[in-house]
């Protein structure tokens, strides 16, 4: 198979594939690695990665969470709802329901379970509302539905087939474009940038996040008080741009966007936070740790993390991610005992937020293999606990 053919099958350029083959670019996205394996009809990822341990491609073909089938069915049946005889939700009621689920996502230790069981009915209600209204009310219902599909996108990450996740991303973007409402368009740019970053398209992710800020310009130049949603959306875009630049190895650009995010967070009223992204001052400090770790300055990442109180963030997802990233940085420094403690603390905050990230489970396995004595016992128990989450 030629390089252009293989690159085309996985939606990338021949130059990208050449850099992966030569080792000048890392392929650290599991979904993309699986795409390459399936395109080459490789059954064991070890044939691509060079690792000695067998890693069957089929291990990712099964469901990894029990909420996925009902969500998948609701998304497939969205055009043919069973709610036609029920009165439609108003756009305001739909938006309120979506916002409450976003808050639940950030504040529940079982976010995928607690949110996932509520999504199928709300997906149907959202499409029913869109069809039942017209004019401004319909546009507002579409904007609310776009926010809903951004939550679906977030929930489905790592736990379903790539096609279903991509459908959620695309629906969120399309609904926001149809709504043609500035905040909704900016949030669509943010969520699309998150998806691009997760699949290794760092340059496109950074460009899209930066471009998404233009939709907010009229609101940020307005007279009077600017809403925390506007500041939070701007900050979320800046944070995502910082992450994309860091993953691409561009230290200066990553720090520049982090500085912008810190300034944006300082403009938000005390106690307010952005429901969709979890953006607020503590979240920016957490993101600084992640960016520093992405730039492979693991010692600095650990030092920064030591100065942050994980409970300062209202988002349990953010808090657990801070400790997860700290554990990974400590593992890179071969401080395995500290890494086990940090990973255990992350799982204590939210086992689902940790266990359903593939590289987090791999980290737990590696720590179990790299330790001895009581630390090994704790790491082994933790690895088993994470694998049990479905």
Please indicate, yes or no, whether residues 161 and 114 belong to a single structural domain of this protein.
yes
78 part of a folded domain: yes
145 part of a folded domain: yes
Please indicate, yes or no, whether residues 6 and 33 belong to a single structural domain of this protein.
yes
Please indicate, yes or no, whether residues 41 and 89 belong to a single structural domain of this protein.
no
285 part of a folded domain: no
Which whole-number Å values give the CA distances from 68 to 74, 266, 357, in the listed order? 10, 38, 15
Instruction: Write out the residue range of the structural domain in which residue 163 sits.
Output: 66-180
Strand ranges for the chain from DSSP E: none
Please indicate, yes or no, whether residues 101 and 151 belong to a single structural domain of this protein.
yes
**Could you tell me the pTM of the whole model?**
0.83
Please indicate, yes or no, whether residues 57 and 89 belong to a single structural domain of this protein.
no
Please indicate, yes or no, whether residues 70 and 174 belong to a single structural domain of this protein.
yes
Please indicate, yes or no, whether residues 41 and 128 belong to a single structural domain of this protein.
no
19 part of a folded domain: yes
Q: Which of 136, 159, 180 is the last residue of a domain?
A: 180
Could you give the CA distance from residue 19 to residue 23 in angstroms, rounded to a whole number?
A: 6
Q: Which of 154, 180, 206 is the last residue of a domain?
A: 180
51 part of a folded domain: yes
Please indicate, yes or no, whether residues 75 and 8 belong to a single structural domain of this protein.
no
User: 130 near 145, Cβ under 8 Å?
Assistant: yes
Q: Which of 180, 210, 234 is the last residue of a domain?
A: 180
104 part of a folded domain: yes
Total tally of structural domains belonging to the chain: 2
Please indicate, yes or no, whether residues 71 and 176 belong to a single structural domain of this protein.
yes
The CATH number covering residue 33 comes to 1.10.260
Q: How does pLDDT run along the chain (390 residues), one tens digit per residue?
A: 888 888 877 777 888 889 889 988 888 777 778 888 888 888 888 888 887 677 777 665 554 688 999 999 999 988 666 656 789 999 999 999 999 999 999 999 999 999 999 999 999 999 999 999 999 999 999 999 999 999 999 999 989 888 899 999 999 999 999 999 999 999 999 999 999 998 889 999 999 999 999 999 988 886 567 888 999 999 999 999 999 999 999 999 999 999 999 999 999 988 899 999 999 999 999 999 999 999 999 999 999 999 999 999 999 999 999 999 999 999 999 999 999 999 999 999 999 999 999 899 999 999 999 999 999 999 999 999 998 887
> What dihedral angle (degrees, nearest 10) is formed by the CA atoms of 89, 90, 93, 99?
100
Please indicate, yes or no, whether residues 76 and 49 belong to a single structural domain of this protein.
no
Angle made by CA atoms 191, 196, 201, in degrees to the nearest 5: 155
């Amino acid at each position: 198979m030629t390089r252009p053919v293989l690159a085309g099958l996985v939606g990338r350029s021949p130059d990208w594939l050449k850099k992966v083959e030569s080792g000048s670019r890392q392929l650290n996205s599991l979904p993309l690695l699986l795409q390459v394996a399936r395109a080459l009809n490789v059954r064991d990822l070890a044939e691509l990665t060079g690792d000695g341990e067998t890693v069957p491609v089929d291990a990712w073909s099964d469901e990894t969470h029990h909420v996925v089938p009902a969500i998948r069915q609701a998304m497939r049946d969205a055009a043919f709802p069973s709610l036609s005889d029920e009165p439609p939700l108003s756009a305001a009621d739909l938006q309120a329901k979506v916002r409450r689920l976003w808050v639940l996502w950030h504040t529940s230790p079982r976010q995928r379970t607690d949110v996932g069981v509520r999504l199928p009915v709300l997906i149907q209600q959202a499409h029913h509302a869109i069809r039942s209204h017209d004019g401004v009310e319909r546009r507002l219902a579409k904007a609310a539905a776009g926010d809903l599909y951004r939550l679906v996108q977030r929930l489905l990450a790592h736990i379903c087939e790539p096609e279903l996740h991509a459908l959620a991303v695309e629906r969120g973007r399309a609904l926001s474009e149809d709504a043609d409402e500035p905040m909704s368009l900016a949030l669509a740019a943010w969520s699309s940038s998150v998806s691009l970053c997760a699949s290794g398209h760092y340059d496109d992710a950074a460009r899209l996040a930066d471009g998404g800020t233009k939709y907010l310009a009229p609101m940020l130049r307005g007279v009077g008080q600017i809403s925390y949603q506007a500041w939070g959306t701007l900050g979320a875009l800046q944070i995502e741009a910082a992450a994309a630049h860091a993953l691409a190895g561009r230290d200066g650009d990553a720090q520049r966007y982090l500085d912008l995010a810190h300034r944006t967070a300082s403009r938000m009223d005390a106690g307010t936070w952005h429901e969709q992204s979890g953006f607020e001052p503590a979240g920016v400090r957490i993101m600084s740790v992640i960016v520093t770790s992405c730039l492979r300055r693991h010692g600095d990442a650990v030092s920064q993390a030591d100065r942050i109180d994980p409970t300062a963030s209202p988002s349990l997802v953010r808090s657990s991610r801070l400790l997860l990233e700290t554990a990974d940085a400590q593992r890179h420094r071969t401080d395995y005992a500290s890494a086990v403690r940090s990973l255990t603390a992350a799982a204590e905050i939210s086992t689902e937020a940790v266990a359903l990230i593939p590289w987090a489970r791999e980290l737990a396995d590696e720590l179990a293999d790299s330790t001895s004595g009581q630390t090994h016992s704790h790491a082994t128990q933790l690895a088993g606990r994470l694998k049990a989450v479905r």
